[in-house]
Structure 1
Amino acid sequence: MAGELNGKVAVVTGAASGIGLASADALLSAGARVVLVDRDEAAVKSRCGERGDRAIPLVTDLLDPKACAALVPRALELAGQIDVFHANAGLYVGGDLVDADTDAIDRMLNLNVNVVMKNVHDVLPHMIERQTGDIVVTSSLAAHFPTPWEPVYASSKWAINCFVQTVRRQVFKHGIRVGSVSPGPVISALLADWPEEKLKEAKASGSLMEASEVAATILFMLTRPRGVTIRDVVLMPTQFDL
């Protein structure tokens, strides 16, 4: 799909690693300029340095309300426009609810739900003015299945699933497409917090995906004709037992 996004600008949050970095790479390969947003300054600047001038670093801690509110204006200053916004940054809390740290719950819900809603809220006026744009949210297979080993994380993704479906209905009249990608287990830093027995089981059975496979799906969504919206994609390893 080389060149299909020539002249476009994408913003990807949580872009220094995992699905975010794979998404940025896919967008760059399709010709877009990409603003890589991450709180890890050394990592995001290193990633951009390796990828050339079309990869633009933006160091932001999205859990800081002022920094979060400044994200879209700063991205517009750096790149001039936003055609694609990929809300990808997220945290994970797994295990039994009774064992969960309540501060960790607050941080995860803030980033997985509140920050996504605020980022989309902030980018919409720009897209509405231009009467075009694409918003993609990284959700999870957990948004579609009441995963017993991750009730807090799954609940955050169920909320985002509803958010995507309702906002899409509000903004399609402005030429804006809104969709989500819901992967099963992906090899990423988030899996470090998986229950050890579930991680061992997934590794042993080959029930894990690469982040690049999720990114390829996102690129497919973004390169459909403007009259077509891919609203929800659920993808999982073929060997995943669900």
Structure 2
Amino acid sequence: MSEPLIVITGASSGIGAATARLLSGHGHPLLLLARRLARLEELGLPQTLCRKVDVTDREALAAAVREAEEQYGPADALVNNAGAMLLSRIADQDPDEWDRMIDLNIKGVLYGIHAVLPGMLARRAGTIVNVSSIAGRKTFPNHAAYVGTKFAVHALSENLREEVASSGVRVVTIAPGAVETELLSHTTDERIKSDYDAWKQSAGGALDPQVVAEAIAYAYRQPPGVTVREIVLAATGQES
């Protein structure tokens, strides 16, 4: 019996790409979504539909899911990984950066859920994995707006879990600490970026995205009657 379809957003690099490679290796057909189509195609994974989709575009996201389900069958899991981390002090930050994080980190997560959840409820099976952050549990300097979006992901995930638990749908929150990804590169304040890098090195380095991918796969591959509600992981040397 072939494995079911899994949808991964933000799959062009970092955690998303690592998760795609891992789950493809487990035999799953995939729908990979990101704004950089060439990076998705470079992964070269079998049984994989790659689409250039910004998850803030609700209609495009839903259309891509429908297309993948027509080709590979119902989506059994969604890995809501797309996100942005734009660090700054609130007084100094361009409010457009707040809008980008709110649209991507919160609304994009909700749009992904909305695209797959009705089918999961009808089948009484499915797993939604929301990739949040340890910044969804505690605060960090220069992270105020970002932290706000990730606290929202934690809250909406828990509330969603309560809504769907009796219908056989699982909701998992993955909350990593610092990870070696491209997230920091979009921060415009060079001093904040250098301070963050120094902090990361003081902790002995950040997590490899593969480690986070393995946590996602672990939660997903539990028996249907078991929900790993949340996994919090960080480099051992990361104190905060």
Q: TM-score range by the shorter chain?
A: over 0.9
Write the letter of the residue equivalent to 1:200: A
- Paired residues of 1:183 and 1:235 also in contact (CA < 8 A): yes
Question: For 1:235 and 1:185, how far apart are their aligned partners in 2?
Answer: 9
Q: Percent identity, please.
A: 32
The aligned runs of 1:23-172 (5 Å cut-off) are 23-47=19-43, 50-51=44-45, 53-172=46-165
Q: Partner of 1:217 in structure 2? A: 215
Which has the higher mean CA deviation after the structures are superposed, 117-126 or 192-201? 192-201
Give 3-state SS (helix, strand or coil) of 1:58's partner: strand
Task: Pick from 166, 180, 195 the counterpart of residue 173 of structure 1.
Answer: 166
Look up the match of 1:228: 226
Instruction: Give the AA of the match of 1:36.
Output: L
Report if aligned partners of 2:174, 2:232 keep a CA contact under 8 Å in 1. Answer: yes
Deviations 1:50-93 (A, max 9, x none): 22x22221221223343234232233234221001111100111
Kindly provide the amino acid, as one letter, of the partner of residue 25 in structure 1. Answer: R
The answer (yes or no) to whether the contact 1:15–1:37 under 8 Å persists in 2 is yes
Unaligned runs of 5+ in 1: none
CA-based RMSD of the aligned residues comes to: 1.6
Q: Deviation at 1:124?
A: 0.8
- Does the 8 Å CA contact 1:143/1:182 hold for their aligned counterparts? yes
Corresponding residue number in structure 2 for 1:12: 8
Q: Within 1, Cα distance between the matches of 2:2 and 2:58?
A: 33
How far off is 1:24 after superposition?
0.9
Alignment check: 8 A CA contact 1:139 1:157 kept: yes
Q: Report the residue type matching 2:40 in the other structure.
A: V
Moved segments of 4+, more than 6 Å = none
Residue 200 (structure 2) aligns with: 202
Whole-Å Cα distance in 2 between the matches of residues 131 and 65 of structure 1? 24
> CA separation in 2, counterparts of 1:140 and 1:66?
27
Structure 2 alignment gaps of length 5 or more: none
Count of residue pairs brought into register by the alignment: 235
Tell me the secondary structure at the aligned position of residue 75 of structure 2: coil
Q: Output the CA distance in 2 between the equivalents of 1:43 and 1:35.
A: 14
* SS of residue matched to 1:99: coil
What's the TM-score once normalised by structure 1's chain length? 0.92
Residues 6 and 30, structure 1, Cα contact 8 Å, conserved in 2: no
Letter in 1 for 2:178: P
Q: Deviation per CA, 1:8-61: give whole Å up to 9, x if none.
A: 1100000010100111112112221111111112111222xx22x222212212
1:10 is aligned with what amino acid?
I
Cα distance in 2, alignment partners of residues 142 and 205 from structure 1: 16
Q: Distance in 2 between matches of 1:7 and 1:66?
A: 27
In 1, are the aligned partners of 2:203 and 2:235 still within 8 Å (CA)? no
